[in-house]
Structure formats: C-alpha cells, structure tokens
C-alpha cells in the first residue's frame, strides 16, 4: 500500500489524489502545457481518450486494491512481492496515461475535461520515469519501506514490543529514563530505511520532472486548485492564525512538565523534551492530560474508563460510530463492511496496524483496517476512519477521476468533524455518562484543554512532516542531512528536542508511518483547520447558540442533508465550491478553530503570565 490511508481505492493504488488546478494555473506551474503539440487534437478525441483512461484506471484500481489489502492485512514475502508487482504496473499505467494526455492542450478543452486531464497529470503521489525498470525498482522500495515499518519491533526488558505496546508506555509511563529508552528504541526501526528512502526520492523526482514538474514537492502542491506557491502562502496564512494558540499551549505545558519532572529533565525555558509529551511523535499530547491538567474543575469521568466499564468492545465502538452517521441520515454500512474489515489485530499475522479506510471497488466494498483497542483515542479514530468510508460512499456515482475528496484535507476532516460532536451531552445521549456527571460550565476550560492537547499540539507537527519532506523532495536537503534537518524543523515549528543526542545513522522521520508509507501530510494540517470550520457552520445551521465545544449535531437530519450534498460532489468541482456548499464560504480559514478555543486562550494567557514563553533562547543548562 503506497499512500492513502484514506481516500478512494484509486488514490490507494495509483495515487490519483485530488488536484485539479484551473487552466491558468496549470500553464504557470507545469511545463507540460507548453510541451503540448500546436496542432490540437479535437475535443472529441480528448473525450475518447479520457473515457479509456478512466476505464483502464478503474480496472487497475479494482485489481490492485485487493492485492494491497491482502498485503496490509498479512505481510509475508509473497504478499509483498504481489504488492510490489502490481504497484509497478499501476504506476506504469498512470504515468503512461499522464504522458499520453500531454498531446492535448488543456487550454483547448472544456472545463470538465481540462479538470480531469490535470488530475491525470498531477495526481500520482510517487511517480516513476518511463526508464526501463524504474517503476519496478520504485515499487519494490515502497513496498519494502511499508513492510519494514509494519513489522518493526523493539526489544525492551526482554520482550519484543510492537509499536502499540511501545506507544502505551510513552503514553502512561512517567519515568523519564523509561520514556527515553522506549522513545529511542522505536527509532531503531528506521535507520535501515534511509538508503532506500533516498533512492526512492531520486527516482520519484525523476518521475515528477518527466511529467513536467520542477520537483515532486511542487507536484504535490499542485493538487489544490491553485498554483503551488499560492497554496504555500495559504498554509503560512493559516499557521499565522493559529500559531499564537500553540505558543501559549507550549508554554503552559512546559511549566507543568517542569513541575512534574524537575529542571534536570525539563527546564523551565527552551524547548520541550519530545518523549515527555505522551505520544511517540509528540503529535497529540492528550496522553499527558493528567500531568498538565488545569487547576479549575474538570469532568468527573474518563471516556476510556467509561467505554471499558460499559462493556464496549471494538465492534461496539465501530457500531457506535456508524450510528452517528446514520443519525444524520446516512444509510448504514453494508454487510460486507462487517465481514471484510480488519477491526482488531489478528493473531499470528504481521499486519500494518496504522489505521486506514479503504474502498476496494469504488462502489460499495468499503472497509476499515485498525488494531482497535477500547480507549478514547481509538474511539476518535473509529469516527475518523468511518468519515473516509462515508465520504467514499457518498461520491461513488461520480466519474472515476472525481471519486475523491474535494481536496485531501477534506477527506481527512470528515470523520474528525463528526468527532467534534462527541460532547458530554452526546455521551449522555448514548448512555456513556449519566445526568449527574454532566460537567458544569466551570469545567469548560478543562474540557477544552483536553481537546487542545489533541488538536492544537498537532498543527505544527503536521507542518514539520511536510516541511521536512518538501525540502527533501526539492533537493534542498541532501540525504546526509536528513536527520539534522528533521530536528531543525521539529525545533523551529514545535519547540521540541530529542531526549538525548541522536546516533549518526538515525533516520527519525522513518519512524513516523507517513514517511515510509509515502502519505502526504499537509492534508492533516488542512483537515484540522477545516473540521472546525465545518463544525461551526453545522452548529450555526442547527441554530446552536452556546459555546462551540458544547455543540453536537447528533441526530440532526437537516445538517446531515447539507453535509451530504458536499460529500456527494467528491472531487468534481474545485474545493472552494465544495466548501461553499456546506459552509457558505469559499475560503479556508482558521478563525473557527481560534474561536472554539477562545475561552482556553484566556486561561492559558493568565497562567503563562510572567513566563518567558517561546524557545528561542538557549535551554537552561
């Protein structure tokens, strides 16, 4: 499996993610148009070509998805070889169609056809050049990287531990020595990936250049209905909206960690030690809620405990997630979902546990693949994954190249948007808490802190991952500098440092799924902004007047209908059209997330008063 954790089967196999730049943009950003023949073939010819391309890609997708699924749910030499083989064929097909499309001058085509042509060209996540053997070598590497990550273990205290087990220690241990050992231990899986990764970057960049892009990062950034540099400017703008909130959260968390661990482990100033933040990659800090919790009253229950006490098992968690969607008016998942999904880690098999949602036939065969455990985090993840599946189902009648998210951030945001409606009131409605446990208004700060530890802490992490990768793909960062550049970005954006010096052969980016898995990461940054925009718009549609974090759209069919109208569009229109269909605005904007956390911001500022926030100054020795 190459890339998608999420999108349609075609994105999974052939990497035709959302793109669709308008005509003008294409000319600016891709020399492809300039190379097009002067004698433009007719529109009829272009239509015939596109019909054939969509049909061939659809057939390939159906075939490849099954092979990738077989590999992800049972990693063996055999399934790896089969995945590598079909991966190479799929890449060759998509590259050859993209090249063939160059004979059509996009400017001569009607909008719809032009949109599809751009999707054919820009949508290949890891392209190969047409050189003999390149697609095969690339596919062998990507399959191998995936398998190395999926099967990685670290022997701790005499036991071979998987990522789930190591992650649990990072989340629950408060012993800094143990945290450091486990954090460093997981990163022993990735040095073996580095040479292959560097070779992959080389081949994929040749592939991007052959398709007419300056480099692969620019090709990735061409998937947002605007020029790559405009999209980068959008990202900067969004970050500047939310950065002040992150800075306050960082400052506040650092003070609490200092109180917990003392100056020797976590100084009062400077960056935070990455292994103390309750998550293997410091991307979600809710694991240390108990360490950093506010001194104001908080909820009296703990969702994980409640799920356990109420006898939830993984299936019941997924059923509960499905019930949220059906409460909005969506049809239930098909029987095959329950028969074919991998909901828990199977005994006696190596699998890729990183959660993902699949659409195997681009019609009804949707599935999830998770190693679900009964806890709050996986309850959220279940909603996240189901969001992908319900989106896939909603756009299944679109043409093949439009069976995708409006952009990849939309795909990631659907389930999380639903997750924002898992409020105390909703927990009461489904019987997880009772009336007397409903947190009063003075628990809002604590409730919001818990959510901020997930949502705000994540934002600079997401930018770190693709900030690093764009520099790698553009050639700005050479293989010898991979690890240093990674930590330079982690420090700059997140204000975190490793618990000790890193070994010379370290390849720490490889210890995060989406790097060996080649899943672009900007999508999650966009999702975390968009989901709050969706939430705010939905709550307004529902006539909600209270604070945004108390609003749940559970059971609201009118909101569901309008939401579905956006989902059904798939990728058929530029993403601002889809955004407008649901929210009434065409601009992606951070003001909804800022508004949502406003009461918390007031508290954090109060708490941080007198502190020297930020991490520019050298850490106290």
The binding site for ligand X8Z (CB under 6 A) comprises 5-6, 283, 355-356, 381, 384, 524
CB of 43 to ligand X8Z, least distance (A): 38
Parallel, antiparallel or unpaired: strands 496-497 and 272-273: parallel
Backbone dihedral angles phi then psi of residue 75, each to the nearest 5 degrees: -80, 115
Residue 385 annotated among the catalytic residues of the structure: yes
Tell me the C-alpha distance between 392 and 6, whole Å: 9
In the list ligand X8Z, Zn ion, none, the entry touching 381 (Cβ below 5 to 8 angstroms by class) is ligand X8Z
Q: For ligand X8Z, which is the closer residue by CB, 215 or 356?
A: 356
| Of 118 and 531, CB closest to Zn ion | 531
- Residue 388 known to bind ligand: yes
Give least dist CB 425 to Zn ion, A: 26
Backbone angles phi, psi at 37, to 5 degrees: -65, 150
Tell me the CA distances in angstroms from 457 to 255, 489, 560, one per residue in order.
15, 15, 29
Contacted by 360, from ligand X8Z, Zn ion, none: CB < 5 to 8 Å by type: none
Cβ–Cβ under 8 Å, residues 469 and 515: yes
- For 403, residues 6+ apart whose C-beta sits below 8 A from its C-beta are 8, 10, 359, 362, 392, 395, 396, 570, 571
Q: Is the dihedral of CA 228, 229, 235, 238 positive or negative?
A: negative
Kindly report the number of other CB atoms within 10 A of residue 616's CB atom: 10
| Shorter beta-carbon distance to ligand X8Z: residue 97 or 360 | 360
- Give the shortest CB-410-to-ligand X8Z separation in angstroms: 13
Q: Which does 215 bind (CB under 5 to 8 A by kind): ligand X8Z, Zn ion, none?
A: none
CA distance 590 to 355: 27
412 labelled binding-site residue = yes
User: How distant, in Å, are the alpha carbons of 350, 542, 543 from that of 47?
Assistant: 44, 43, 46
State in angstroms the smallest separation of the CB of 343 from ligand X8Z.
Answer: 14
Longest dimension (CA), the chain: 75
Closest CB to ligand X8Z among residues 526, 569:
526
Q: 272-273 and 356-359 as β-strands: parallel, antiparallel, unpaired?
A: unpaired
Per-residue HEC secondary structure of 559-597 comes to HHHHHHHHHHHCCCCCHHHHHHHHHCCCCCCCHHHHHHC
CB-nearer residue toward Zn ion: 380 or 589? 380
197, 516 contact by CB (below 8 A): yes
What is the nearest approach in angstroms of ligand X8Z to the Cβ of residue 524? 4
Is there a binding annotation on residue 250?
no
> φ, ψ for residue 619 (rounded to 5)?
-60, 145
User: Looking at 250, 383, 411, 514, which residue is catalytic?
Assistant: 514
Alpha-carbon span 22 to 365, nearest angstrom? 32
Q: Decide which of Zn ion, ligand X8Z, none touches 524; Cβ closer than 5 to 8 Å per partner kind.
A: ligand X8Z
Minimum Å gap between C-beta 244 and ligand X8Z is 22
**Of the candidates 10, 204, 206, which has an alpha carbon nearest to the alpha carbon of residue 119?**
10
Q: Which does 71 bind (CB under 5 to 8 A by kind): Zn ion, ligand X8Z, none?
A: none
Give least dist CB 118 to Zn ion, A.
Answer: 24
Give the DSSP per-residue string, 94-120: HHHHHHHHTTS-GGGS-HHHHHHHHHH
Q: By C-beta, is 184 or 412 nearer to Zn ion?
A: 412
In the complex, least distance from residue 380 CB atom to ligand X8Z, rounded to whole angstroms: 9
Kindly indicate which of the ranges 2-10, 201-209, 444-452, 509-517 contains the residues binding Zn ion, using the contact rule CB under 5 A.
2-10
Region 399-438 residues binding Zn ion, contact defined as CB under 5 A:
412
Annotated binding residue 549: no
Select the binding partner of residue 413 from Zn ion, ligand X8Z, none (C-beta < 5 to 8 A, by kind). none
**For residue 404, which of 15, 13, 18, 14 has the smallest C-alpha distance?**
18
Choose the contact partner of 8 out of Zn ion, ligand X8Z, none; CB within 5 to 8 A by kind.
Answer: none
Joined together, the tokens standing for residue 91 give 């890449």
Phi-psi bin for 371: left (phi > 0), alpha (psi -120 to 50), beta? beta
Cβ 538 to Zn ion, closest distance in Å? 19
User: Which partner, ligand X8Z, Zn ion, none, binds residue 184 by CB below 5 to 8 Å per kind?
Assistant: none
Is residue 6 close enough to count as binding Zn ion by CB under 5 A? yes
For Zn ion, the closer CB: 5 or 447: 5
Is 535 an active-site residue? Answer: no
Candidate list 171, 248, 376, 385, residue with the active-site label: 385
Selection from Zn ion, ligand X8Z, none that 355 binds (CB < 5 to 8 A by kind) is ligand X8Z
Measured from the CB atom, the residue of 207 and 520 that comes closer to ligand X8Z is 520
289-317 in b/e burial notation, b at 16+ Cβ within 10 A?
bebbebeeebbebebbebbeeeebebeeb
Tell me whether strands 159-161 and 154-156 are parallel, antiparallel or unpaired.
antiparallel
Rounded Cα distance between 437 and 428, Å, is 9
283/392 with CB nearer ligand X8Z? 283
Q: Residue 82: how many CA atoms within 13 Å on its side-chain side?
A: 16
Residue whose C-alpha is closest to residue 97's, from 137, 47, 48, 57: 57
Position 459 contacts Zn ion (CB under 5 A): no
Which positions are catalytic? 385, 514
Binding site as annotated, residues for chloride: 224, 523
**Residue numbers of the site for Zn ion (CB under 5 A)?**
5-6, 412
Q: Which residues are annotated as a binding site for Zn(2+)?
A: 384, 388, 412
Q: Which residues are annotated as a binding site?
A: 224, 384, 388, 412, 523
């Amino acid at each position: 499996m190459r890339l998608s954790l999420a999108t349609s089967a075609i994105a999974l196999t052939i990497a035709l993610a959302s793109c669709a730049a308008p005509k003008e943009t294409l000319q600016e950003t891709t020399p492809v148009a300039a190379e097009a023949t002067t004698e433009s073939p007719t529109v009829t010819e272009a239509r015939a070509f596109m019909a054939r391309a969509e049909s061939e890609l659809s057939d390939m997708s159906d075939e490849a998805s099954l092979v990738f699924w077989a590999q992800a749910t049972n990693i063996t030499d055999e399934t790896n070889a089969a995945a590598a083989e079909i991966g190479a064929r799929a890449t060759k097909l998509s590259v050859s169609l993209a090249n063939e499309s160059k004979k059509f001058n996009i400017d001569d085509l009607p909008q719809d056809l032009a949109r599809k042509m751009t999707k054919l060209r820009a949508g290949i996540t890891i392209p190969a050049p047409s050189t003999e053997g390149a697609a095969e070598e690339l596919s062998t590497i990507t399959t191998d990287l995936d398998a190395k990550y999926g099967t990685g273990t670290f022997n701790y205290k005499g036991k071979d531990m998987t990522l789930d087990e190591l992650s649990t220690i990072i989340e629950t241990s408060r012993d800094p020595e143990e945290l450091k050992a486990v954090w460093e231990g997981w990163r022993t899986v990735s040095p073996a990936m580095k040479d292959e990764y560097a070779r992959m970057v080389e081949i994929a960049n040749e592939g991007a250049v052959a398709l007419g892009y300056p480099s692969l990062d620019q090709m990735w950034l061409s998937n947002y209905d605007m020029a790559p540099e405009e999209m980068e400017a959008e990202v900067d703008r969004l970050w500047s909206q939310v950065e002040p909130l992150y800075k306050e959260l960082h400052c506040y968390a650092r003070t609490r960690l200092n109180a917990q661990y003392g100056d020797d482990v976590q100084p009062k100033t400077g960056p935070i030690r990455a292994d103390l933040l309750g998550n293997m990659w410091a991307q979600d800090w809710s694991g240390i809620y108990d360490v950093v919790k506010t001194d104001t009253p908080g909820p009296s229950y703990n969702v994980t405990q409640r799920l356990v006490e109420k006898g939830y098992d993984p299936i019941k968690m997924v059923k509960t997630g499905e019930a949220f969607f059906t409460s909005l008016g969506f049809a239930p998942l098909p029987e095959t979902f329950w028969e074919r999904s991998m909901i828990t880690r199977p005994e006696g098999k190596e699998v890729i546990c990183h959660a993902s949602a699949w659409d195997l036939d681009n019609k009804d065969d949707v599935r999830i693949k998770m190693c679900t455990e009964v806890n709050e985090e996986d309850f959220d993840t279940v909603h996240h994954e189901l969001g992908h599946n319900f989106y896939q189902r909603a756009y299944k009648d679109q043409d093949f190249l439009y069976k995708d998210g409006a952009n990849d951030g939309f795909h990631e945001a659907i389930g999380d948007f639903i997750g924002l409606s898992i409020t105390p009131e909703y927990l009461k409605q489904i019987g997880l808490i009772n009336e007397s446990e409903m947190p009063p208004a003075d628990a809002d700060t604590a409730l919001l802190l818990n959510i901020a530890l997930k949502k705000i802490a994540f934002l600079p992490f997401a930018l770190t991952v693709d900030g690093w990768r764009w520099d790698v793909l553009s050639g700005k960062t050479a293989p010898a500098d991979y690890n240093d550049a990674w930590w330079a970005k982690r420090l700059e954006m997140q204000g975190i440092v490793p618990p000790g010096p890193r070994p010379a052969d370290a390849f720490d980016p490889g210890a995060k799924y989406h790097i060996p898995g080649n899943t672009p990461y900007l999508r999650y940054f966009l999702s975390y902004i968009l989901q709050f925009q969706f939430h705010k718009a939905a709550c307004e549609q529902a006539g909600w007047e209270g604070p945004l974090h108390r609003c749940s759209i559970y059971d609201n069919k009118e909101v569901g209908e309008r939401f579905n109208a956006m989902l059904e569009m798939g990728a058929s229109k530029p993403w601002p059209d889809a955004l407008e269909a649901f929210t009434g605005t065409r601009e992606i904007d951070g003001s909804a997330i800022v508004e949502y956390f406003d009461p918390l911001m007031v508290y954090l500022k109060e708490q941080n008063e007198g502190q020297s926030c930020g991490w520019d100054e050298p850490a106290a020795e």
